[in-house]
Structure 1
Amino acid sequence: MAFHFVGIGGAGMSALARWLRHKGARISGSDLVESPILDALRKIGVDAYAAHDANRMGQPDWVVVSDAIHPDNPEVIEALRREIPIWRRSQLMGWLLRDYKVIAIAGTHGKSTTTAMTATILEAAGYDPTVLIGADVPLPAPWQGNLRLGNSEWAVVEACEAYESFLDIRPYLALITNIEPDHLDYHGTFERLLKSFANFSKHVPREGYLVACGDSHGVREMVKMLHGIGGHERPPILYGLGSHNDLRAEITARPPTYTEFRVHNSHWLSDAEPTLRIPVLGEHNVQNALGATCIALLLGVPVAVIRDALAHFRGVKRRQEIVGEAMSITVVDDYAHHPTEIRAALSALRQRFPNRRLVVVYQPHLYSRTRDQLHGLIESLAAADFAVITDIYPAREQPIPGVSAALIADGLLERDCPPTLYVPIKEQIPSRLIPHLQPNDVVVVMGAGDIEKIAPLLLRRLEARGQARRLTVAVLMGGDSPERDVSLLSGLRVMQALNPDKYHAVAVDPALLTGKEGYWGLQELLTQERPDVAFIALHGRHGEDGAVQGLLELLGIPYTGSGVLPSALAMNKYIAKMVFREVGLTTPNALLLSDAEDESLERVQRRLRLPVIVKPNQGGSTLGAMRVFAWDALPRALRKAFAYDAHALVEELIEGVEVSVPVLGVREPYALPPVEIAPKSGYYDFHAKYVPGETEEIVPARLPSEILELLQQTAVTAHLALGCRGMSRVDMIVRETTPYVLEVNTIPGLTPTSLLPRSAEAAGLSFGELVERILSDALEEV
């Protein structure tokens, strides 16, 4: 038979696909995006692809649809058109389990862990069960992630209440971990949810068992409802921490690495009261282990086997999972997404990491859950020492007006504790969070969506900042500005200077859609593994104006130089002049023109004095610039400037000593020695700037020491006024004792004739050391 899975990348769907493939069925399937799960399925012969495409479905006998798939999916529509039978995932699972004695684990929280614990005990006891779990289990074959294919009559499965999918299962033994308001987008009310659990409980045959956690208020309400509607003849067996339960746990030890508890039992079990130890933390995990123990005891598993199996329990993925540690900061990944789960997870992490600051990065799951659980989410997250809230993971839902993750952040901010950041784009979380982290922090990345992707990114960023490994540096060069060739020279020189023992350099040309000849293009930058840092050597448009900086921030890649706004301000010479004057700096008088009409020419003649210099308002490298000594030359100069930019800056030409002062540093920027520029031609044009030997660069400038000090102070003031960081080069003219600020260049050239490297060399920094300093500043700013 042939099965086609719509949404095959989901945990439950992929497990069933593997199971059917193991049985010899022909399997195909689609998902919204590519993922490692699709790659793994292809390796076992599954035709898995992304995105959904009705033309690739083939000729299946059955189509299996995830509950997360909308009815307007093109493959679902095609299956209906062809009248191919359609099953829900739960219907297929029920069909596959029809010949098994099924142990079904249901409940709002703890299903995956309880299922894994139960399977671990039964495997140790020789039951050889088939197991399906909603999370991966880190165990070798016969485990395949969240699937274990056994050879016995027993099956242990996670049964979900969402969309009442658990009603497609006929369990021999059912366990309910707890019942709380959740999935109300489907059930509507808590009472209807309770009724759904009661109907699930009624599926247990008279010779079977119903087990439930009596600590849960929802479970106790469901039991009352079950009695009222004539449910299971045998009363449910209750377990938990409370004294009213049939099987009760008393916690006896809570050290950082395990939890120990004694089991007290009633008349229906033996008189022994064993002490058990689990290598996971929190009262909720004691409840989970007690539920698994109850099942095992009902099946006659010896206590010694239970004790040994639980002591060696390996856990499940994304449950307090340690991702790694860097710079004395531990990064943890956790699936908690409901207020109760968040409280339990944070409590367990407090036990595991006593006296350490707990930083929570939380991604809400579903608009409806955020709306229904808003108060509880705020209250539970308030237990953190620092919180970061990112946007809602919608899964199967469309946005709901008035519902936003910002409501959670606002609720926390109104409490004044914990300190809270709202970062809508999750890829920006590492750069926004790291400046707030402290040594010995524990960062837990939390949620049921795709927030788990941020944990390794954060860890990589911390490793990069601590230089804990060889870093990948994307050197951005080329681009689409008139200064492309200069940019390529700068970029290639940077790549040559990077120490190959510390850095892996990748050349990136953003002007290319796809890479070629040793360069990445935009496509590779967007799709390949993110580099640790970008070294921007792009000059002119789209390199210095904030455009590429904005792209890198969206991608969450730290970069050298200034941010979006400082770059845009510095690139706009006219606006930069206004900022300089606000902080008391002197600049030449200037006008901004967008045309060369007579009215504009007359305005220039009324407001400015000859000589003037005309240049593109946004540009660099002196391209398009022209000096004007007679008014009749002004129209030609404007036409030349307009060839490079829509606006031209007409500025009074100040006669004096031309100097350039580089600035470095992030926290406390400092100026390097001023460079005096003395072109042989008397004019610092493009030729004089970039042709070796055409200009004499004198470091330090031949000016009195007090003027040199004033130039350095002026450069730092201009740098800070625009909000620059990392590096800049401030160009000035000194007339007598007054420095006139011309512009700030946020991406100074790094060619053999460029001024920043010359000044750095005079200050004792080799070119390699300068590149290293610029990279270090970029990582420090993260």
Structure 2
Amino acid sequence: MKKNIAIIMGGYSSEVAISIKSGNVVYKHLNKEKYNPYRIHILNDGWFYVDDNELQYLVNKHDFSVEIEGNKITFDCVFNAIHGAPGENGVILAYFDLLGIKHTSAPFYQMALTFNKRDTLSVLQKYEIPTATSVYLNKGNSVNPDEIVAKVGLPCFVKPNNAGSSFGISKVYEAHKLYDAIDKAYQEDDEILIESFLEGTEVSVGVIEYKGELLVLPITEIVSENDFFDYEAKYEGKSQEITPARITTEEENKVKAIAKKVYTALNMSGFSRSEYILVNGEPHFLEMNTVPGLTEESILPQQASEAGITLTELFDNAIQNQLN
């Protein structure tokens, strides 16, 4: 008997359009002979099942069900394609746990932890994972540019602590420009992170549970046409994403080893894609994405393809990991 799969997409953050694109790709590639997939839009103005004719049906939040022409539809598993809140930060996953509905992401605590950049860095420092030097600020804190520069140097990056897709990020070259960069980051989040600039090769690597084993996917090298891997570089073709990365075998082995160590240390499950900068051949952790882009052009699907895994196989595996 076919399983009913809710593909949740959208969300409450600036990443809503990207998430819907990812969710539609999951819907397109999910094996229709095994599953009945349902596109569920989780939006600020409501939760809706959207059919192939773009007709909307309200989701009953009491039990996460949908009524279609008098038939009540419940779900065997939820495929999480929400970038940002409330999918990537774990909030909606806690709701599914309360309802006893399985989902393709890590447990809600791990999702919340990894969505919070500074908390993730704090945990990983205990495992001696190299990272950039950081300064943390909360909205309302006083800002002393000279003290910040003395710690992290210039240039530096100013980032929202809880956000994705490079929204709100600035690369700052002069101390007096920190104020504008901080204001920009606060538009996305009330907590921000200011990090030292790491000079080196940027790489991205996916780690997933595949057929019962922890699998480190082929590594992607990021070459941005812009000053850094910003929104334009990620989504508007202003970068080269080279898979496999043009790095030495020794560097590749180091990245794979640290990627697996990070995944295990954070007690992750499901999808992950982490970013590193190779500084003098040593990988420095930047951040982890637990709901990475899932379009045909996105990095993790590129890596899966290089490993001989189709999107249909990738998505099926994520669901089967939970159903089994």
TM-score (normalised: structure 2): 0.91
* Structure 1 residue 507 corresponds to structure 2 residue 35: no
* Structure 1 residue 674 corresponds to structure 2 residue 219: yes
- TM-superposed CA distance for 1:549, in Å, is 0.8
Q: Structure 1 residues 566 and 764 mapped into 2: Cα distance closer, same or farther (>3 Å)?
A: same
* Equivalence map 1:439-478=2 (5 Å): 469-478=1-10
Residues of 1 paired with 2:134 and 2:58: CA distance? 39
Give the number of the structure whose residues are more often helix, by fraction.
1
Match of 1:774 among 314, 318, 321: 318
Is the 1:506–1:520 contact (alpha carbons within 8 Å) kept by the matching residues of 2? Answer: no
Match of 2:153 among 609, 613, 617: 609
* Equivalence map 1:221-620=2 (5 Å): 469-511=1-43, 512-515=45-48, 517-519=54-56, 521-523=58-60, 526-528=64-66, 529-595=73-139, 598-620=142-164
Residues of 2 paired with 1:621 and 1:585: CA distance? 23
Residues of 1 paired with 2:149 and 2:227: CA distance? 25
* Equivalence map 1:29-178=2 (5 Å): none
- TM-superposed CA distance for 1:619, in Å, is 0.7
The higher radius of gyration belongs to 1
Which deviations, in whole Å up to 9, do the C-alpha atoms of 1:370-391 show, x marking residues without a partner?
A: xxxxxxxxxxxxxxxxxxxxxx
Q: Structure 1 residues 563 and 600 mapped into 2: Cα distance closer, same or farther (>3 Å)?
A: farther
Match of 2:243 among 696, 699, 703: 699
* Structure 1 residue 683 corresponds to structure 2 residue 228: yes
Q: Structure 1 residues 637 and 514 mapped into 2: Cα distance closer, same or farther (>3 Å)?
A: closer
SS at match of 1:727: coil
- TM-superposed CA distance for 1:610, in Å, is 1.1
- TM-superposed CA distance for 1:589, in Å, is 0.7
- TM-superposed CA distance for 1:757, in Å, is 0.2
Residues of 2 paired with 1:763 and 1:694: CA distance? 25
Match of 1:259 in 2: none
Percent of residue pairs identical:
32
Letter in 2 for 1:657: T
Q: Structure 1 residues 487 and 629 mapped into 2: Cα distance closer, same or farther (>3 Å)?
A: same
* Equivalence map 1:707-718=2 (5 Å): 707-718=251-262
Match of 2:202 in 1: 658
Letter in 2 for 1:702: R
Is the 1:690–1:753 contact (alpha carbons within 8 Å) kept by the matching residues of 2? Answer: no
Is the 1:549–1:563 contact (alpha carbons within 8 Å) kept by the matching residues of 2? Answer: yes
Is the 2:145–2:176 contact (alpha carbons within 8 Å) kept by the matching residues of 1? Answer: no
Match of 1:71 in 2: none
SS at match of 2:83: coil
Residues of 1 paired with 2:186 and 2:281: CA distance? 34
* Structure 1 residue 646 corresponds to structure 2 residue 178: no
- TM-superposed CA distance for 1:479, in Å, is 1.3
Give the number of the structure whose residues are more often strand, by fraction.
2
Match of 1:385 in 2: none
- TM-superposed CA distance for 1:597, in Å, is 5.7
TM-score (normalised: structure 1): 0.39
- TM-superposed CA distance for 1:514, in Å, is 4.9
Letter in 1 for 2:22: S
SS at match of 1:676: strand
Is the 1:513–1:523 contact (alpha carbons within 8 Å) kept by the matching residues of 2? Answer: no
- TM-superposed CA distance for 1:518, in Å, is 3.8
Q: Structure 1 residues 621 and 607 mapped into 2: Cα distance closer, same or farther (>3 Å)?
A: same
Is the 2:5–2:78 contact (alpha carbons within 8 Å) kept by the matching residues of 1? Answer: yes
SS at match of 1:535: strand
- TM-superposed CA distance for 1:599, in Å, is 4.3
Is the 2:209–2:269 contact (alpha carbons within 8 Å) kept by the matching residues of 1? Answer: yes
Is the 2:208–2:271 contact (alpha carbons within 8 Å) kept by the matching residues of 1? Answer: yes
Is the 1:757–1:767 contact (alpha carbons within 8 Å) kept by the matching residues of 2? Answer: yes
- TM-superposed CA distance for 1:573, in Å, is 0.3
Pairs aligned (count): 311
Q: Structure 1 residues 520 and 616 mapped into 2: Cα distance closer, same or farther (>3 Å)?
A: farther
SS at match of 2:64: helix
Residues of 2 paired with 1:743 and 1:652: CA distance? 14
Match of 2:69 in 1: none
Is the 2:78–2:101 contact (alpha carbons within 8 Å) kept by the matching residues of 1? Answer: yes
- TM-superposed CA distance for 1:655, in Å, is 1.3
Is the 2:6–2:38 contact (alpha carbons within 8 Å) kept by the matching residues of 1? Answer: yes
Which deviations, in whole Å up to 9, do the C-alpha atoms of 1:431-487 show, x marking residues without a partner?
A: xxxxxxxxxxxxxxxxxxxxxxxxxxxxxxxxxxxxxx2111100001111100000
Task: Point out which structure has higher relative CO (alpha carbons under 8 A, 6+ apart).
Answer: 2
Residues of 1 paired with 2:252 and 2:29: CA distance? 30
Letter in 2 for 1:672: L
Residues of 1 paired with 2:247 and 2:157: CA distance? 25
Letter in 2 for 1:632: H
Which ranges in structure 2 are unaligned for 5 or more consecutive residues? Answer: 67-72
Letter in 2 for 1:717: K
* Equivalence map 1:627-642=2 (5 Å): 627-642=171-186
- TM-superposed CA distance for 1:522, in Å, is 4.1
Residues of 2 paired with 1:491 and 1:636: CA distance? 34
Match of 2:70 in 1: none
Letter in 2 for 1:471: K
Is the 1:610–1:630 contact (alpha carbons within 8 Å) kept by the matching residues of 2? Answer: yes
Q: Structure 1 residues 759 and 514 mapped into 2: Cα distance closer, same or farther (>3 Å)?
A: closer
Residues of 1 paired with 2:86 and 2:157: CA distance? 24
- TM-superposed CA distance for 1:595, in Å, is 3.7
Q: Structure 1 residues 588 and 520 mapped into 2: Cα distance closer, same or farther (>3 Å)?
A: farther
Q: Structure 1 residues 514 and 608 mapped into 2: Cα distance closer, same or farther (>3 Å)?
A: closer
